Chain A
Amino acid sequence: DGGITQSPKYLFRKEGQNVTLSCEQNLNHDAMYWYRQDPGQGLRLIYYSQIVNDFQKGDIAEGYSVSREKKESFPLTVTSAQKNPTAFYLCATESKGRNLGKHFGDGTRLSIL
């Protein structure tokens, strides 16, 4: 979706390093989400935020952290505590009311060096 920008497209992490994935949207959507996609496992929810300055853990939040200081931005930090970070990370947004469906960015592929 053109309204959601994820960067970088590819990211490499050294052991013990924290890395931050960016997600910016210009759709004026209230809710933002981070998913992790692994081969054969489908999408799993990491964190989500319904409004600015508030966010909640998803199904696999351990080893990750987020912030939501602006409506347009929802960065995800993969910490050194996440022992298996290699995956494809997808950011999504949704308008209030949750009846118009989710919109996704183009993803960031994170690999271990």
Chain B
Amino acid sequence: KQEVTQIPAALSVPEGENLVLNCSFTDSAIYNLQWFRQDPGKGLTSLLLIQSSQREQTSGRLNASLDKSSGRSTLYIAASQPGDSATYLCAVHSGGGADGLTFGKGTHLIIQP
């Protein structure tokens, strides 16, 4: 059974810093991995989707990498801003289960102005 772990559970950094959020998974046989952002009381907004054949994806100040063999993905946020404050969720699509998706519990990020 796929298990997804996100570290750290919470992170607080000053504005302007570059930071890395981590996601690890136990079964490397995956189809893709998706990073989401969730603001308080809101739904999930998809940030980046990495297919199993890809090593990384970039969107603006965000860069997500995938290392299937080691069961790891990182989300890099450059030049952080207060508006980046949110919970970031990692979801691994491995085909198991009804929806094939296993979510991590998220990293709660606070960017201090």
Contacts and interface: CB of A to CB of B under 8 A. Distances in A.
Interface of A: 1, 4, 6, 33, 40-43, 45, 48, 56-59, 88, 90, 92, 98-107, 109
B43 A99 contact: no
**Which 10 residue pairs across A and B have the least CB separation, nearest first?**
A104-B44, A101-B49, A106-B43, A104-B43, A42-B105, A43-B103, A107-B43, A42-B103, A101-B34, A58-B98
Contact of A59 (B34, B45, B89, B98): B98
B106 A42 contact: yes
- Most A CB atoms within 10 A — which of B31, B42, B44, B100? B44
A55 to B, nearest CB: 10
Interface of B: 31-32, 34, 36, 41-46, 49, 51, 89, 91, 93, 97-101, 103-106
Consensus secondary structure, chain B interface: strand
Contacts, number: 60
Nearest to B9: A40
Interface centre among B99, B100, B105, by most chain A C-beta atoms within 10 angstroms, is B99
Contact of A101 (B43, B46, B97): B46
A56 B34 CA distance: 23
Contacts of B93: 98, 101
Given A99-B31, A106-B43, A33 B99 contact: yes
A45 B32 contact: no
A90 B99 contact: no
Among A4, A6, A57, A92, residue most surrounded by chain B Cβ atoms (within 10 Å):
A92
